[in-house]
Amino acid sequence: MRMVANKPDSIELNIRQAADLMRSLSNPNRLMIACALVEGEQSVSELEDKLGIKQPILSQQLADLREAGVVQARRVLQVRIYSVADAKAGHLIAALHQIFCEDSHLSVPFKIPVRTKASVQAAVFAQVARRSGK
């Protein structure tokens, strides 16, 4: 019984974490940076060349992503190398990257169910039949 009582708190925490993650990716520059880092770790100069974001803006956006726990940095001599820090963030960014950045002819990993009037009527009929015991 105690586990059931804790479950809503756990769900609420997960939802807050997801909302925070999506908020941190809501800026187009931050999302572009995160998408680039999903492809592999990169230095600031590589990101600047690849994305066309000027260094001061890039540094600010990277600092925001670092503070949010989305990316991490390591030093190699005088160069900072950035990568995605959180697996959950990586999965979400990879999914967004696949949906919006890759070839549109790729198959989507899930199907959105299409409900026709006939399928809705059949579902209602089946439910009524179950309730009446037929």
Q: Whole-model pTM?
A: 0.68
Q: Is the pLDDT of residue 25 over 90?
A: yes
Amino acid at 27: N
Residue at token pair 């492809």: 39
pLDDT tens for 86-107 read 888 888 988 888 888 775 444 4
What local confidence, expressed as pLDDT, does residue 4 receive?
47
Q: Which long-range contacts (CB under 8 A, 24 or more apart) does 52-60 make?
A: 53/29, 57/29, 58/29, 58/33
pLDDT tens for 32-67 read 999 999 888 999 999 999 999 999 999 999 999 999
User: Mean pLDDT lowest for which of 1-10, 35-44, 55-64, 123-132?
Assistant: 1-10
What local confidence, expressed as pLDDT, does residue 59 receive?
95
What's the rounded mean pLDDT across residues 115-130?
58
Which one is predicted more confidently, 4 or 101? 101
* Complete domains list, the chain, with CATH: 2-106 (1.10.10.10)
